Amino acid sequence: MKYTAPRGTHDVLPEDAPVWQALERTCRKIFELYNYKEIRTPVFEMTELFARTIGESTDIVSKEMYTFTDRKGRSLTLRPEGTAPVVRAALEGSLIGKDKFTKFYYFGPMFRYERPQAGRQRQFHQAGVEVFGSADPLLDIEVIALAEQIFSRLGLPDLEVNINSVGCKKCQPEYNKKLKAHFRTHLDDMCENCKQRYEKNILRVLDCKETACQKFIEKAPAPIDSLCKECKTHFDQVLKGLDEHKLVKYKINDRLVRGLDYYTGTTFEVVSKQLGAQNAVCGGGRYDDLVAELGGPSLPAVGFAIGLERLVEIIKSSVMIPRSKLGISLFVVTLGEAARKFGFDLLLKARKAGISSDMDYSGKDLKAQLKSADRVGANFALIVGDNELKSGKALLKHMQDASQEEIKCDAATIVGKLENLI
Ligand code: HAM
């Protein structure tokens, strides 16, 4: 039996790990610059949390959740997204409330049972932010600016922000009425799913990918044409702010309703021309009703999540982050038992001094050990045999240009010398 990673999952191998690390470092640094604080939530939650917030008739809840029953018969679900868990945790920990203004960020794996393809996995990773406590359009702009700063710090080209407003509780019923009127006459020619969506949650018809339904979706009315006065003013202020601060290249995309039900007002996605069909590297928006829906006070909120696999894909294809070498500073090459003991002691001291180092543990000969030093990208190899120990002189090889120098065979001297060289 040959074991493979489950379909739709992948391993991050050591050669790719530096790209992931650089990505996470950059996100974290910029999140902190904007005064966001990290929050970590469990990878599974009560199923009800997602069903209520993302929406029963969304693709995520109706067909993509990894749901299981635990030994006590509770229904649990591997988180398909991070927003609902953050709201749950913030309420549970009394972190958000009427007079509090709170900003969170998170990293972590998410799980959706989707058909895997390039840029779409069943386990994928997100870096996200959520801000609670203000309906100020400046905050919508801030989160978009934050995403933009991450992407420009990473040097990602060809990105565009698609932006829309899906309205609030006041204007959504009006829009839903218009959608119903539009689709009513075409319903017989639409797919079975859409017929159900028409009854249960008309907005979700816009998510349909069936060719038969596409031509009717293209002609559907847009939510921005049904916005109430407050939503229209808010959206105009967001766009004006984006223009004034010259933050990003954006395009109003009046079809952008997003695949989760909790949005109110601004929605946005950052798309890359370098990716195929799955081209959204970031998605987010306002969700001013969600906190109250989960039993908290009425508290406006806005946030986004970045899909890290998709970013890694772009970074790897355009090699913009110098793939920091896996290399270490020192590889200790030894010949003979006494030298091996000396070498191991040197390693411990070098590492205590902050010098990354390693040696051979499989009894290879001198030539093979030097090859290992080369393979792990060591900057220096310290060559020491029992004879060198006796004479008190070892060899320090500079791996870059293969030059060698004699050095006193004493751990403190070698560590001191390397500290100066590195
Ligand atoms: P989302 O648009 O579902 O939003 O996901 C955000 C990002 O995660 C997408 O733009 C994409 O880059 C990545 N992503 C989603 N599904 C997959 C997948 N199957 N494989 C690989 N990458 C994927 C949310 O999850 C919201 N919680 C975002 C949010 C935060 N809204 C407000 N606050």
**Whole-number pLDDT of residue 72:** 98
> Please, are residues 284 and 259 in contact by the beta-carbon 8 Å criterion?
no
Helix (H) or strand (E) holding 384: strand 380-385
**Whole-number pLDDT of residue 324:** 39
**Whole-number pLDDT of residue 314:** 87
**Whole-number pLDDT of residue 158:** 82
CA of 284 to the centre of ligand 1 (A): 8
Q: List, for the chain, all residue ranges whose pLDDT scores fall below the cut of 50.
A: 321-324
CA of 175 to the centre of ligand 1 (A): 25
Strand partners, 330: 357, 380
15 HSE (CA, 13 A, CB side)? 2
> Please, are residues 93 and 73 in contact by the beta-carbon 8 Å criterion?
no
- Which ligand 1 atom sits nearest the alpha carbon of residue 82? 27
Pocket-testing residue among 7, 9, 58, 81, ligand 1, by greatest number of atoms within 8 A of Cβ = 81
pLDDT, tens digit, for every residue of 342-358?
999 999 999 999 999 99
**Whole-number pLDDT of residue 326:** 62
- Which ligand 1 atom sits nearest the alpha carbon of residue 282? 10
**Whole-number pLDDT of residue 322:** 46
Residues with CB under 6 A from ligand 1: 81-83, 112, 114, 120-121, 124, 126, 128, 130, 259-260, 280-285, 303-305, 307, 309-310
Q: What CA–CA distance (Å, rounded) separates 421 from 100?
A: 51
CA of 209 to the centre of ligand 1 (A): 18
Domains within the chain, CATH numbers bracketed: 17-171+227-318 (3.30.930.10), 330-421 (3.40.50.800)
pLDDT, tens digit, for every residue of 232-278?
999 999 999 999 998 899 999 998 989 999 999 999 999 998 888 88
CA of 189 to the centre of ligand 1 (A): 31
Helix (H) or strand (E) holding 27: helix 17-33
Q: What angle do CA 382, 414, 330 make, to 5 degrees?
A: 45
From the CB of residue 58, how many other CB atoms can be counted at a distance below 10 Å? 24
Buried b (16+ CB within 10 A) or exposed e, 328-359: bbbbbbbbeebbbebbeebbeebeeeebebbb
Pocket-testing residue among 23, 86, 113, 260, ligand 1, by greatest number of atoms within 8 A of Cβ = 260
**Whole-number pLDDT of residue 320:** 52
Q: What CA–CA distance (Å, rounded) separates 216 from 304?
A: 29
Tokens of 47: 């199923």
Q: What CA–CA distance (Å, rounded) separates 308 from 303?
A: 16
Helix (H) or strand (E) holding 186: none
Pocket-testing residue among 310, 312, 313, 314, ligand 1, by greatest number of atoms within 8 A of Cβ = 310
Residue given tokens 């040197």 in the structure block: 346
Q: Taking the chain, what is the end-to-end CA distance rounded to the nearest angstrom?
A: 47
pLDDT, tens digit, for every residue of 364-390?
999 999 999 998 889 999 999 999 999
> Please, are residues 269 and 165 in contact by the beta-carbon 8 Å criterion?
no
